[in-house]
Structure 1
Amino acid sequence: MGKFEIKTRKNNEFQFDLKAGNGQVILTSEGYTTKSNCINGIESVKKNSKDDSKFDKKTSTNGKPYFNLKATNGQVIGTSEMYESEASRDNGIESVKKNAPEAEISDLT
């Protein structure tokens, strides 16, 4: 079972990571100025991860595939790691879809 971990960045912003059951980070958020906004971001991931159209498949400047998860308003709410192949990226998307909706929240701040 996956989980969201809320952490504090060095600049005192909050961010979350979605981790798969094996502990691997599969999605990372932007920085949030308040913890409540960070938690709202998590709720947005839980909701939007059920919709295939919210996943934006990308390729970085170094040619590595990755993806963004977008909210209904088009704002990016999470970004994946860089993958070695498109198949691995697609597996990452499936992992977010599987883990996010029921993931618990662990506050590490």
Structure 2
Amino acid sequence: MPKFEMFRDKSDKYRFRLKAPNGEIIAVSQAYASKAGCMKGIESVKNNAPIADVIEIDEPEDHTS
């Protein structure tokens, strides 16, 4: 069964990872300052993933901002 794992990173921020039934990590979240914020992130993925479109992007995104 897939599962969300919530944990604290080296900076003491909350993160979650989504694992497939075979244990493979599918996704890792951004850092959240609070446990409540992390839980909201998990709920957002649960609610939005089933309806999300798949869009192919030809150019790499700039993640520096």
Q: Fold-level match, TM-score > 0.5?
A: yes
**Structure 1: which 5+ residue stretches go unaligned?**
62-109
Could you tell me the TM-score, scaled by structure 2's length?
A: 0.81
Local SS of the residue matching 1:47: helix
- Aligned residue in 2 for 1:4: 4
Take 1:40 and 1:33, find their aligned partners in 2: how far apart are those partners? 12
Q: Report what 2:18 is aligned to.
A: 18
Question: How many residues are aligned here?
Answer: 60
Question: Equivalents in 2 of 1:59, 1:25: separation in Å?
Answer: 25
| Inter-CA distance 22–59: structure 2 relative to 1 (3 Å threshold) | farther
- Which structure has more relative contact order (CA 8 Å, sep 6+)? It is 1
Distance 2:48 2:33 in 1: 22
Deviation of residue 40 (structure 1)? 0.4
Query: What's 2:32 paired with?
Result: 32
Partners of 1:56 and 1:28 in 2: CA distance? 19
Residue deviations 1:61-101 (CA, integer Å, cap 9, x gap)? 6xxxxxxxxxxxxxxxxxxxxxxxxxxxxxxxxxxxxxxxx
Query: Structure 2 unaligned runs (5+)?
Result: 61-65
State the 4+ residue runs in structure 1 displaced beyond 3 angstroms.
Answer: 55-61
Give the TM-score of the pair, scaled to structure 1: 0.50
Query: In the TM superposition, what is the alpha-carbon distance from 1:52 to its structure 2 partner?
Result: 2.9
Percent identity for Structure 1 against Structure 2: 38
**SS of match in other structure, 1:49:** helix
Larger strand fraction of residues: 1
